[in-house]
Chain A
């Protein structure tokens, strides 16, 4: 089996689900780096950076007495943030799902097939664990880690701003605040560029297909992160319910003008536009959709970055914008 839709489904559902209460993390207590003129690339932490009190996305407070040198990440997005902050060498445990940057493949896995092996986590002797919220790291595991007295930060960003905040949170934790600020600035600039390029172009009703099986379509949930990205990319997203499910009748009523097949990222048979169109047309009720009639069914190959709430989410935004408004982007980066 090339892809395992069931095990990928959960991470895909993450941006589509409304969590009842997921407080945006308070801005981390400012470290001393704010007063340093230039970011210090030295290994030794600046004296005033620790101890630092951090508040994570779940509202939990964590006090770090010293700089963490052994970091375990329980979600690919967290791994990417750590590496983007040039602290990849501190990772001692990752998930078997992690694929970026390529060097993380050599790091030991502590999460196998979405199941956290607490024994391996403990064996890695971490001084910081980056977990994921919304049950991606199961509550039972978090409780166990707490009981063992291990330092855990729970991250669950649902908007771009929250992604930036998480980057800065990890930056503060790892004494990489300047790098974090630079990264956030860079991402904000790129987002602004996309918005500017899209400008006032017409916003087509767009269905982003996350998953389809037996007549049930999963797409961006109403108010979800993915829906927000689609809007930023210049589309009017066709949304489903809180779980992202959209029924056949609502789909017909919404009548998308453009369909982006996120599933094509995992299903090679959908990579070819012609085949994709045929497959989609064969689904009952879909043949009358405007997008299908007009042949506006686009195999979308960047689903991973579009649904992973890490630094490359902006790559995803750019890919979305290019797919929705190709005419506005002559030469893609």
Chain B
């Protein structure tokens, strides 16, 4: 073996060029999806008007040639909905990616250690609280309860699973399953007694971006953005965790601390997302897998890519939901997600792994 020589470039993962391509395509995807969603809806607003409205609100330019209703629709109805869709989609996809690595389980999704069940219990409780008059639910009560329920549940699950020697992944999964089941039973009981609120409860559980408005998403969206930003920089630890906890420890990862941080941030993003939109399924499970197929398992690229494609996908799904008669977006994501999942499974079975 020569002591050589011509420095052979060693690949450290996706090259800078490839990364730029994937992320660039992701940004373009989100931009196109967002544009399509802002420009389309059930009412007839011309594309030119819609663009002009956005420009006008952002920069104040242009004579106002459109009716006030069009401006309300574009700026107060569609735009917050699109913003919420991007944030929630990104948060769920990111959280799903993190849990799949952390729990070393390809079936993991953001809800696997309980935030969905906890948030559901909180939200349904809030929906059923006897309120004196219709109309002023104490704006945000449902969101607050959902958010608190989600976070508290993860805290409880984590505490239950915590042992002397840290928090073993298997125990975390089992504890999450047990607590979720318990809480879901509570939700089912509440559903049974929901009376005339049944439609509202079911609508929330199926997941919908329908109620999105600027004040309502004002607290949740920044939380989601902060969470996934902080998660993006932890890619080294996530990669190391893929080698197993003991090897990750040898590589200098404070495994228990990393688990706490990752779980906490992912739970924060998930709970904030659920608070806005109810429990939307499949995004957190399927997007990481699809993106991993395209860009590989290196979290340096996987995390930001999942984030972008999750955002774009949810916005498109919501557009579809709106045009299909205002059905809950959770139905659309299930309809799109389940076949994809089946296709992924078939693919891996055929590949013999």
Q: Do A and B bind each other?
A: yes
Minimal beta-carbon separation of B117 from chain A (angstroms): 22
Asked if A27 is at the interface of the complex by the 8 Å CB criterion, the answer is: no
Minimal beta-carbon separation of A327 from chain B (angstroms): 38
Taking a contact as CB atoms under 8 Å apart, the answer to whether A133 and B325 are in contact is: no
- Chain B interface secondary structure, helix, strand, loop or mixed? loop
How many residue-residue contacts, CB under 8 A, span A and B?
A: 99
Minimal beta-carbon separation of A112 from chain B (angstroms): 6
Complex CA gap A58/B1 in Å reads 87
Query: Which listed residue, A58, A119, A243, touches B42 by the CB 8 Å rule?
Result: A119
Query: Chain B contacts of A115 at CB under 8 A?
Result: 325-327
Complex CA gap A122/B78 in Å reads 12
B58-90 residues with Cβ-Cβ distance < 8 A to A are 67-70, 72-73, 76-78
Q: Binary interface profile of A, 233-249, with partner B (CB < 8 Å = 1, else 0)? A: 00000000011000000
Asked if B252 is at the interface of the complex by the 8 Å CB criterion, the answer is: no
The stretch of A139-147, A191-199, A271-279, A303-311 that contacts the partner chain: A139-147
Minimal beta-carbon separation of A151 from chain B (angstroms): 13
Taking a contact as CB atoms under 8 Å apart, the answer to whether A135 and B200 are in contact is: yes
Complex CA gap A114/B200 in Å reads 12
Q: Binary interface profile of A, 144-178, with partner B (CB < 8 Å = 1, else 0)? A: 10111000101000000000000000000000000
Asked if B189 is at the interface of the complex by the 8 Å CB criterion, the answer is: no
Taking a contact as CB atoms under 8 Å apart, the answer to whether A139 and B43 are in contact is: no
Complex CA gap A93/B43 in Å reads 13
Taking a contact as CB atoms under 8 Å apart, the answer to whether B195 and A120 are in contact is: no
Instruction: Assign chain B's interface to a size class.
Output: 35 or more
Complex CA gap A116/B67 in Å reads 22
B96-143 residues with Cβ-Cβ distance < 8 A to A are 130, 132-137, 139
Question: Given the interface contacts A112-B325, A144-B213, does A119 sit within 8 Å of B78 by beta carbon?
Answer: yes
Asked if B186 is at the interface of the complex by the 8 Å CB criterion, the answer is: no
Query: Which listed residue, A20, A138, A148, A242, touches B72 by the CB 8 Å rule?
Result: A148
Complex CA gap A210/B325 in Å reads 28
Q: Which 10 A-B pairs have the closest CB atoms?
A: A123-B43, A115-B326, A58-B134, A125-B69, A135-B196, A59-B133, A140-B211, A58-B133, A142-B135, A119-B43
What are 20 sample pairs from A and B whose C-beta atoms fall under 8 A apart?
A17-B195, A19-B196, A21-B130, A58-B135, A59-B133, A116-B326, A118-B77, A120-B43, A122-B73, A123-B43, A123-B73, A134-B134, A135-B199, A135-B200, A139-B135, A139-B137, A142-B135, A143-B136, A143-B211, A147-B76
Q: Which chain A residues have a beta carbon within 8 Å of chain B's beta carbons?
A: 10, 13-14, 17, 19-21, 23, 58-60, 112-120, 122-125, 133-135, 138-140, 142-144, 146-148, 152, 154, 242-243
